[in-house]
Amino acid sequence: MSSSLLVILALFAQVAEMPTYRLGNQERVDANGDPVFSGASITAEEDSIISAEAEGTLVKLAVKEGDRVGQKGVLATIDERLALAQVDAAKLTLDAATERANDKVEEQYAILARDVAEVDWKKDVAANTDQRNAVTDIQILQKKLVFDRSNLQIDKARKDQIIAKKEAAVKSAELKVAEIGLDRRIIKAPFEGEVQQLFQKESQWVNPGDPILRLVKFDVLRVESRVDAKKFDPSELAGKPVTVSVRLARDRQVTLPGRVTYVSQTVNPVNQEYLVRAEIQNKREGDYWLVRPGLFAEMTIHASQPAQPQARGIAAPAK
């Protein structure tokens, strides 16, 4: 059984073992008439399985579980020797094509040859003007043909240069393709976060789509709950500030401010509720985050206060 299939089965097993929870509902209103929700769920803003984009041997895992990485930080490398060679070859062919595109020797020679042919042709024409039949007609026609051919060679040299420039553009595109192929073998973090789980080991073969690791962003968290559509309309909650209270170990409690960033426009026809999501800025306690995804919270949406204009999900009015 392949390693990728084992990883997928393990993930399904973890999900199956997790208890299912219903998003928190409005429990009460405070003295200001603001809704208070208990059992609101906390999730990470970014929680992604980072997968391989190319096939090959995983030659390097640059991180271990628990490591913090910045955006674009290198996480792992798939064997890139062939991709590097393809980039080098594409650069060389592009350089050669660029040289041909910028080479004007043929055009310059054709111009010089045209000038000489013109002088030679007109000299015979002038000789016949001074003395009739000094030069035969066929000789004059032949020299006129040489002059015309030189003009055509100039046109051809210029057209060849245009074609060479287009060929150089094609080689430039081929270089970009090779660079993309190389970039796909260097796995980088799409966002700043922490490595939570490794699914592969160094020297293992991976295929496109095989999971490499799980990366989670903890500094911004989402808090979600359900709102009774009979009690509050979306316009009353969109962009409003929130206060989120989270109970930690040994009955410790932490309170964090936030704001509503998303209000669903769809109402559940069964229970007449809709989803509301807020974001809070997390804090550290030493080397660890104070609030963690998976915990539950009490969230108060301050509907009586003005909405924050920078709240996401609220479109700017048309001008």
pLDDT, tens digit, 9 for 90 and up, residues 230-273: 999 999 999 999 999 999 999 899 999 999 999 999 999 999 99
Question: Residue 12: what residue type?
Answer: F
Helices (H), 105-228: 105-130, 137-183
- For the record, the structure tokens of 160 come out as 């060849």
- Residue 298's SS3 state is strand
- Residue 51's SS3 state is strand
Q: Are 161 and 103 in contact (CB under 8 A)?
A: yes
Q: Please tell me the predicted confidence (pLDDT) of residue 310.
A: 60
DSSP letters for 238-281: TT-EEEEEEE-GGG-EEEEEEEEEEE-S---TTT-EEEEEEEEE
- The answer to whether the predicted template modeling score (pTM) of the entire model surpasses 0.85 is no
Q: Are 200 and 218 in contact (CB under 8 A)?
A: no
Tokens 């208990």 belong to which residue?
38
> 195 exposed, middle or buried (CB, 10 Å; 0-12, 13-18, 19+)?
buried
Q: Are 112 and 104 in contact (CB under 8 A)?
A: no
Q: Are 36 and 304 in contact (CB under 8 A)?
A: no
Q: Are 54 and 78 in contact (CB under 8 A)?
A: yes
Residue 45 to residue 37: CA distance in whole angstroms:
20
pLDDT by residue for the chain (319 residues), tens only, comes to: 455 555 545 444 443 443 333 455 666 888 888 999 998 999 998 999 999 999 999 999 999 999 999 999 999 999 999 999 999 999 999 999 999 889 889 989 989 999 998 898 888 888 888 777 777 888 888 988 998 998 999 999 999 999 999 999 999 999 999 999 999 999 999 999 999 999 999 999 999 999 999 999 999 999 999 999 999 999 999 999 999 999 999 989 999 999 999 999 999 999 999 999 999 999 998 889 999 999 999 999 999 999 987 644 433 334 4
Q: Are 19 and 221 in contact (CB under 8 A)?
A: no
Question: Residue 96: what residue type?
Answer: A
For residue 230, what is the DSSP state?
T
Residue 213 to residue 202: CA distance in whole angstroms:
12
Q: Please tell me the predicted confidence (pLDDT) of residue 125.
A: 84
* Residues across the chain: 319
- In order of 66, 74, 133, 153, 284, the CA distances from 220 in angstroms are 17, 22, 97, 68, 12
Q: Are 68 and 194 in contact (CB under 8 A)?
A: yes
| Among the listed residues 275, 280, 296, the one whose alpha carbon sits nearest the alpha carbon of residue 232 | 275
Question: Residue 299: what residue type?
Answer: M
Please list the residues that pair with 256 across neighbouring strands: 244
Topology of domain 18-52+212-301, CATH: Elongation Factor Tu (Ef-tu); domain 3 (2.40.30)
Q: Are strands 211-228 and 35-51 parallel, antiparallel or unpaired?
A: antiparallel
pLDDT in tens, 10-42: 444 443 443 333 455 666 888 888 999 998 999
Domain ranges of the chain: 18-52+212-301, 82-183
Tokens 């096939």 belong to which residue?
55
Residue 55 to residue 199: CA distance in whole angstroms:
16
